[in-house]
Amino acid sequence: MTAPALARFKAEGRKIVTVTAYDYPFARLFDQVGVDVLLVGDSLGMVVQGQETPLPVTLDEMIYHARMVARAARRALVVMDLPFGAAQISPEQTMAAAVRAMQESGCGAVKLEGGAVMAETIAFLTARGIPVVAHVGLTPQSVRAFGGFKVQGRGAAASQRVLDDALAVAQAGASAIVLEGIPAALGARITAEAGCPTIGIGAGAQCDGQVLVMHDLLGLYDGVRPKFVKQYLNGGQLVSNAITQFADEVRSGAFPSAEHAFKGE
Ligand code: KIV
Ligand code: NA
């Protein structure tokens, strides 16, 4: 998978399957079953680091995780989030962060949040050979400005703003746009009008692709669970059962049995 392949998927009506990943073992499993895009999201801050928002995540931390994911990816496109602060100051600063991301992690594209305000930066990076995935709607790095993780683009004015943001980043050369936390009808309209592929999370069924955070999908996170999450596995329960059984067997002496012990003097 490459960044330009995303446009081909849209043209062919083939859905873009995207899952977040933060380390080698999960990235390897997702790549092997044919996930198209592995997104190293700054959701890292919440689902891996246990913080309440993604705001504290640093560029060094993102690169560390993206490197593990890129090492596992044989086929999938690896996209790394530029964390809060790494893309907000100037196109030049963003370029420097994106170069570090690509050189040090091996990711194939970077993602940054923001609409029209980021268009200049997106054009700057794409003109210099860096594929950029944009992210509009409920952009979690703006959680403080939104006053919480709240659906965006409801009502005529807000809806027009999100549409304008999506059109601006598409025009600037974004390889794809993540649409998060917006009404399904708005997701459908952007997907029809933007010209570049859309990857939705809480943006309805008409998007060109869908993304979920792996811990939400697998039931490994018991923090906030937004309405758009579908849980496909009760991973937390499975892991609890296994560790409880291990603990019981250690305490009873049932583990290790002879088959797990070395023979001889
Ligand atoms: O950080 C993340 O995981 C994301 C996706 C939810 C789109 O940005
Ligand atoms: Na993110």
Per-residue model confidence as pLDDT tens for the chain (265 residues)? 999 999 999 999 999 999 999 999 999 999 999 999 999 999 999 999 999 999 999 999 999 999 999 999 999 999 999 999 999 999 999 999 999 999 999 999 999 999 999 999 999 999 999 999 999 999 999 999 999 999 999 999 999 999 999 999 999 999 999 999 999 999 999 999 999 999 999 999 999 999 999 999 999 998 778 899 999 999 999 999 999 999 999 999 999 999 999 998 8
Q: What pLDDT does residue 7 have?
A: 98
Write the CA distances from 249 to 61, 160, 253, 260, 261, integer angstroms: 37, 60, 6, 13, 15
Q: Which atom of ligand 1 is nearest to the CA of 211?
A: 7
Give the number of other Cβ atoms within 10 Å of residue 61's Cβ: 17
* Residue 25 CA neighbour count, 13 Å, CB half: 0
Give the number of other Cβ atoms within 10 Å of residue 197's Cβ: 24
Q: State the Cα torsion 126-30-26-256 to the nearest 10°.
A: -170
Asked if 104 and 161 sit in the same domain, the reply is yes
Asked if 224 and 263 sit in the same domain, the reply is no
Verdict on whether the full-model pTM lies above 0.90: yes
* Distance (Å, whole) CA 249 – CA 247: 5
**Cβ–ligand 1 contact at 121 (below 6 Å):** no
Asked if 140 and 192 sit in the same domain, the reply is yes
Model ipTM over 0.90: yes
Please tell me the distance between residue 8's alpha carbon and the centre of ligand 1 in angstroms: 23
Q: How many domains does the chain have?
A: 2
Asked if 145 and 183 sit in the same domain, the reply is yes
Please tell me the distance between residue 40's alpha carbon and the centre of ligand 2 in angstroms: 8
Q: For residue 257, report the phi and psi dihedrals to the nearest 5 degrees.
A: -90, 180
Asked if 79 and 148 sit in the same domain, the reply is yes
Query: Which stretches of 13-76 are DSSP H helices?
Result: 24-32, 44-47, 59-72
